[in-house]
Amino acid sequence: MYRFITIWFINYYLLLTAEMLISFIAITVLGLHTTRPIILPIIGSVTALTGLTGTILLFALNLKPNWRTDLAKAKLSLGNIRHYIVYGGFLALFLTIGAILDQYTGLGYNPNTDLTTLITGAFNALILSPFLGLTTGVFGEEYGWRIYLQDLLVERYGKRYGVGLLGIIWGLWHAPVVLAGWTYPGYGFAGLLVFIVFATIVGTLLSHATFASGTVWVAAFVHAINNGYGNFTLNLVTFYDPLYNFRLGIYGLSILAVLMFGIILTEKKLWAST
């Protein structure tokens, strides 16, 4: 059974990677969506169907105890639903409170988003994005960072130093995107430094969730919450400045850093160097 799971896992993500590559070439390189608008819904439907199929297979493979044991060897079992609720809920609550603080401190404003957009955004942020996050999108990133590289760094440097180094590497890996203005636009290298801090702090939360749950899926789920729900809060309260706000700006990151430091102190056994 373990061999079957390995073959399924590799081939499924090879298929998904091929679909993403074809989508990138068709839209970004060739710009086919401008001449043939039908391309976008077709690509979206195909990738969504593949993601849904993978999610169904994932749940199916977790039905039998011996299958779950095999998945657990590669940190691919679904784990306990409590971890999804605790860590996903923690980040969602943090982003919600941050949006409220931005509103009442004058760092943000209500963009008066129409009801249809709000309903669609809420569905995507709270249901669709986290659900698909289990098999598509952020999963590949999380397995690479939180399992492959993290295990190597933790083995060499211990959990605290290994996770800290991982956060810095994760932040630097995003440097081209940040410097291009997609994150903290207009701040250049200052924005990159803040993003490295962001990657280290949020990465610590994702690593903690992985240590506690023993599976990569919780980290992928929380990552999807950050992307989906974080963007949704902008429909409710849009901040004026990406660097100065209580969500993932320097004010919010300062608060999150204190919270993560407290969590690590209360979970000393989980963070003991190995």
pLDDT at 14: 83
The band of 241, judged by pLDDT with boundaries at 50, 70 and 90, is very high
Residues in the chain: 274
Helices of type H across the chain? 2-24, 32-35, 39-61, 65-73, 81-104, 115-123, 129-132, 138-142, 150-157, 159-173, 175-179, 188-213, 216-236, 250-266
How far is it, in rounded angstroms, from Cα 198 to Cα 176? 16
Closest among 203, 250, 192 to 91, alpha carbons compared: 203
Mean residue pLDDT across the chain = 87
96 vs 8: which has the higher pLDDT: 96
pLDDT average, residue stretch 134-139:
71
Confidence of residue 272 (pLDDT cuts 50, 70, 90): confident
- Which band of pLDDT confidence, cut at 50, 70 and 90, is reported for residue 118? confident
Lowest-pLDDT range, 32-36, 135-139, 181-185, 263-267?
135-139
What pLDDT score does 129 carry?
74
Residue the block writes with tokens 């023993």: 214
| Structure tokens belonging to residue 74 | 């590669």
pLDDT for 200: 97
Indicate the pairing of strand 108-109 with strand 238-239.
antiparallel
What type of residue is 138? Answer: V
Q: What is the pLDDT of residue 87?
A: 95
Average pLDDT over residues 162-182: 93
pTM as predicted:
0.85
Mean per-residue pLDDT for 217-235?
89
Exposure on the CB side of residue 98, measured as CA atoms within 13 A? 29
- Confidence at residue 170, expressed as pLDDT on a 0 to 100 scale: 95
| Count of other CB atoms within 10 angstroms of residue 221 | 30
Q: Kindly report the number of other CB atoms within 10 A of residue 73's CB atom.
A: 11
Q: What is the mean pLDDT of residues 86-95?
A: 94
The Cα-based distances of 173 to 45, 178, 272 in angstroms read 30, 10, 27
The pLDDT of residue 5: 66
- Token pair, residue 261, equals 């430091």
What's residue 92's pLDDT? 92
At residue 123, the pLDDT reads 79
| DSSP class of 124 | I
What DSSP letter does each residue of 72-94 carry, written as one string? Answer: HHTT-S---HHHHHHHHHHHHHH
Residues 128-140 have a mean pLDDT of 72
Banded model confidence at residue 58, pLDDT cuts 50, 70, 90? confident
- pLDDT band for position 263 (50/70/90)? very high
| % of the chain surpassing 70 pLDDT | 95
Q: Where are the domains of the chain?
A: 2-73, 81-266
pLDDT digits (tens, 9 = 90+) for 18-30: 888 888 888 878 8
DSSP annotation of 129 reads H
Coil, helix or strand at residue 112: coil
Under 8 Å between Cβ of 230 and 248: yes
In angstroms, the CA 168 to CA 198 distance is 9
Tokens 């299958």 identify what position? 67
The pLDDT of residue 228 = 85
Give the residue with greater pLDDT, 23 vs 106.
106
